[in-house]
Structures are given as structure tokens and as C-alpha cells.
């Protein structure tokens, strides 16, 4: 079993899709009788699988129906107000803060993985409407903020494990999680702006940034 797991990760290192490699490893475990099918079924978390599947479906629906573009437009309105006053920096920063807050809110209410799937199309739409943002930068922001959802016990697997072991209440998560998330938001937004937005401003083509005219 250990060799099969190592083989799956080696395939991932060689650019083989991790999901397919893991699935192939699971099939080999069952075929070689390293694990019984009953054990596999007991290990599966059906609520989590359904949650992930629903997240993928909602993400596709948001993209294809234009909801992501509409939400991105709402976020961009606040940035445009600042830009019209000659404060482009505040416009870009405002978009990043709004995106981080929305991502953390959805991660705390849905859980991190489905929230990331849902927010990703929105993040790309926001990047396409700001020539100082790159798709890579906003996607990294979404990944970090969704995985740093600290205000509810069910937002991440780590939160759930800590809640079960230590017996923390929802109020305790909220009390200590909100200040921690505020700190994370400041750090991530600052990092995205200074390391991604400034690069796009200096060399938009070289860093894969999309200008509004191109979008």
C-alpha cells in the first residue's frame, strides 16, 4: 500500500493529474487485495464527497450563467469609484479586499474547498477588469483566504479536528477566528498587491495580466 501511494505521488510530480493518480492507486489497492472494498467504503466520507461535487456544479453554473461576471462587476464598482478620483491604488486594493472577504465568508459557511471552486470564476472575472491584477495573483489570494477560514468549526478539516479534540464552541471559533482572519486578509492583500499588481503595472504581458481592452 505504501509503494502504491508513493507511486501515485511520483506520477503527480511528473505532471500526471493527482486525482487520476490517486484513483488509480485506490483501484490497484483493491485489485491486489491490499484493501477490501468494505474498508474502502467505510473510509469514504459521503457528505464531503457530495459537498465537493456540489461545489464543482455550482462553480460551473456561476461561470456559464454569467453570475461570476455580475458579481465581479459589483466588486469592480467600488474600485472604479476610487479610480475616478485618481486613486488607482485604492481601486485595486479595494477589489482585493472585497474578494478576500467574500472568499472567507463563503469558506466559513460552506467549507473551504467548495468555496474555492465557487469563488475562482469570480476572481478571474475581477482580474480581467483590472489591468494591475494577474489571474495567478487573484487565484493565489483565493486559495490562501479560503484555507485560512478560521471562524467556524466546519470551514476546514483542521478546524473540525481541533473542534472535536478540544471541544471548542462556535463562539470560541468566532471570537478568536475573526481577528486572525483580519490579520490574514491584510497580509494576503498586501502580498498580492506588492508582488503581483506592481509586476503587472511594470510588465503586464510578461506576467500574464489582461488589460481591460483585451478583456
Q: Output the pTM of the full model.
A: 0.65
Residue 104 in grid coordinates: 472567507
Q: What is the b/e burial string over 139-169, where b = at least 16 CB atoms within 10 angstroms of the residue's CB?
A: bbbbbbbbbbbbbbbbbbeebeeebeeeebe
Report the pLDDT value the prediction gives residue 215, as an integer from 0 to 100. 40
48 C-beta neighbours (distance < 10 Å), count: 13
Confidence category of residue 212, pLDDT binned at 50, 70, 90: very low
pLDDT tens per residue, range 98-117: 888 888 888 887 778 878 88
Report the pLDDT value the prediction gives residue 211, as an integer from 0 to 100. 46
Report the pLDDT value the prediction gives residue 183, as an integer from 0 to 100. 92
> Is the Cβ–Cβ distance between 92 and 130 less than 8 Å?
yes
Confidence category of residue 55, pLDDT binned at 50, 70, 90: low
User: Whole-angstrom Cα distance, residue 168 to residue 77?
Assistant: 39
Q: Which of 95-109, 132-146, 148-162, 173-187 has the highest mean pLDDT?
A: 173-187
Interval 140-167 mean pLDDT:
82
Q: pLDDT: is 142 or 36 the higher one?
A: 142
> Residue 46's Cα: distance from chain center in Å?
22
Report the pLDDT value the prediction gives residue 214, as an integer from 0 to 100. 45
pLDDT tens per residue, range 61-77: 776 787 767 777 777 67
pLDDT tens per residue, range 161-207: 777 677 788 888 888 889 999 998 899 988 888 777 656 655 555 54
pLDDT tens per residue, range 3-39: 777 777 777 677 777 667 777 877 888 888 877 878 7
Which of 129, 101, 119, 113 has its CA nearest to residue 188?
Answer: 101
Amino acid at each position: 500500500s505504501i509503494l502504491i501511494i508513493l507511486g501515485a505521488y511520483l506520477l503527480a510530480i511528473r505532471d500526471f493529474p493527482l486525482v487520476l493518480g490517486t484513483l488509480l492507486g485506490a483501484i490497484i489497492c483493491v485489485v491486489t487485495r491490499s484493501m477490501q472494498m468494505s474498508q474502502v467504503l467505510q473510509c469514504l466520507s459521503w457528505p464531503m464527497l457530495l459537498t465537493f461535487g456540489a461545489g464543482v456544479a455550482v462553480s460551473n453554473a456561476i461561470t456559464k450563467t454569467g453570475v461570476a461576471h455580475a458579481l465581479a462587476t459589483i466588486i469592480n464598482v467600488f474600485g472604479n469609484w476610487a479610480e475616478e478620483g485618481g486613486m488607482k491604488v485604492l481601486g485595486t486594493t479595494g477589489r482585493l479586499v472585497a474578494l478576500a472577504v467574500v472568499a472567507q465568508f463563503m469558506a466559513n459557511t460552506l467549507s473551504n474547498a467548495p468555496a474555492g471552486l465557487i469563488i475562482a470564476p469570480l476572481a478571474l472575472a475581477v482580474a480581467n477588469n483590472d489591468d494591475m491584477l494577474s489571474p495567478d495573483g487573484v487565484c493565489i489570494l483565493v486559495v490562501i483566504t479560503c484555507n485560512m477560514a478560521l471562524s467556524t468549526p466546519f470551514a476546514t478539516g483542521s478546524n473540525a479536528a481541533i473542534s472535536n479534540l478540544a471541544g471548542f464552541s462556535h463562539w470560541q471559533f468566532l471570537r478568536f477566528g475573526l481577528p486572525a482572519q483580519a490579520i490574514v486578509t491584510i497580509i494576503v492583500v498586501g502580498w498580492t498587491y506588492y508582488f503581483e499588481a506592481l509586476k503587472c503595472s511594470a510588465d503586464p504581458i510578461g506576467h500574464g495580466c489582461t488589460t481591460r481592452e483585451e478583456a
